[in-house]
């Protein structure tokens, strides 16, 4: 039996990115961006560029198994994804006084998961079409499908705006999808641990993640400061769609409103308390 194959090269345009930012108002504020399942940082780059232009420090990692070949994704595990997000968060926190976490789809799941396990560290959550479950009928067959084949029909580029294509896999890695389902279950079980301010942007029409996901999240978290924004002119990958400018501008306003004047600059991120 042959050993595992070496990971493939990163696709051009799928690279992780970081912007220095540094607005100087009430200390330095960072925003960690997290892309979605089978996607890449490309889907988050315009948002990141907008945030950086507004003075925020920005970082967006490439999740393990992503941005190369779908077979690499099948060899990845959900704990590798959460570790990558936590590592990027710690790196950004070392440079900033506070860090907000923003995610698209599975990126929203991972952002929420981080706020569950480190509720005192995350300054706020900005979620775009976050995923926690699926109501698709064929999902019930996924355990069987994953044993029979490593790939299925793709879920990428659900975008309403003409001429825009998401840089993502052209197949759905079925074994990685099983990992995602485990991440969903763990995240749903701990939603009540989320106490950080949260804003959720979700599309009224989404062909990948049903809008009920956002309602499940908002109903389950313990945050007393929540905002829901319905996107009327975008599908799933809203960060590249018609409503992207509204997401970008709205996120800047929301973050600034949550950077309070009484915070002491230069203290760094608070240590997580034992819960």
DSSP lists the bridge partners of residue 104 as: 128
Q: How far is residue 129's CA from residue 217's CA, in Å, rounded to a whole number?
A: 10
Residue 73 CB contacts under 8 Å (≥ 6 apart), including other chains: 38, 65, 66, 169, 173, 176
| Catalytic-labelled residue, pool 72, 158, 206, 243 | 206
Residue 106 among known ligand-binding residues: yes
CA distances to 44, 55, 186, 249 from 17, in Å: 10, 16, 28, 20
| Catalytic-labelled residue, pool 43, 105, 214, 251 | 105
Q: How far is residue 67's CA from residue 188's CA, in Å, rounded to a whole number?
A: 27
Q: Is 202 a catalytic residue?
A: no
Residue 177 among known ligand-binding residues: no
φ/ψ of 268, rounded to 5, equals 75, 180
Q: How far is residue 31's CA from residue 34's CA, in Å, rounded to a whole number?
A: 10
Task: Using alpha carbons, select from 88, 85, 73, 180 the residue that is nearest to residue 134.
Answer: 180
| Catalytic-labelled residue, pool 66, 78, 202, 236 | 236
Q: How far is residue 55's CA from residue 273's CA, in Å, rounded to a whole number?
A: 30
Instruction: Indicate the pairing of strand 57-60 with strand 17-19.
Output: antiparallel
Q: At what angle do helices 78-93 and 106-117 cross, to 10 degrees?
A: 70
Q: Is 236 a catalytic residue?
A: yes
Q: Is 105 a catalytic residue?
A: yes
Residue 212 CB contacts under 8 Å (≥ 6 apart), including other chains: 133, 135
Q: How far is residue 171's CA from residue 36's CA, in Å, rounded to a whole number?
A: 14
Give catalytic residue positions.
105, 206, 236
Task: List, as residue ranges, the binding site for substrate.
Answer: 37, 106
Task: List, as residue ranges, the binding site.
Answer: 37, 106
């Amino acid at each position: 039996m042959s050993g595992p194959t070496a990971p493939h090269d990163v696709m051009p345009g799928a690279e992780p990115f970081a912007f220095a930012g540094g607005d100087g108002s009430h200390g330095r504020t960072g925003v960690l961006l997290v892309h979605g399942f089978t996607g890449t940082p490309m889907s988050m780059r315009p948002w990141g560029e907008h945030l950086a232009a507004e003075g925020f420090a920005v970082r967006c990692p490439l999740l393990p198994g992503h941005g190369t070949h779908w077979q690499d994704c099948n060899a990845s595990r959900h704990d590798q994804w959460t570790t990558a997000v936590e590592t990027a968060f710690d790196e950004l926190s070392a440079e900033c006084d506070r860090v907000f976490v923003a995610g698209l789809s599975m990126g929203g799941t991972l952002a929420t998961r981080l706020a569950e396990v480190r509720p005192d560290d995350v300054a706020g959550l900005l979620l775009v079409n976050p995923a926690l479950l699926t109501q698709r009928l064929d999902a019930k067959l996924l355990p069987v499908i994953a044993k029979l084949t490593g790939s299925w029909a793709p879920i990428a580029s659900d975008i309403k705006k003409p001429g825009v294509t998401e840089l993502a896999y052209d197949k759905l890695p079925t074994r990685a999808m099983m990992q995602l389902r485990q991440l969903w279950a763990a995240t749903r079980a701990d939603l009540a641990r989320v106490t950080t301010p949260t804003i959720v942007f979700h599309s009224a029409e989404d062909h990948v993640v049903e809008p009920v996901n956002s309602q499940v999240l908002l109903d389950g978290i313990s945050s007393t400061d929540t905002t829901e924004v319905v996107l009327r002119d975008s599908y799933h990958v809203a960060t590249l769609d018609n409503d992207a400018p509204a997401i970008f501008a709205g996120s800047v306003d929301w973050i600034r409103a949550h950077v309070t004047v009484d915070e002491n600059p230069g203290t760094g991120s608070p240590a997580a308390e034992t819960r």
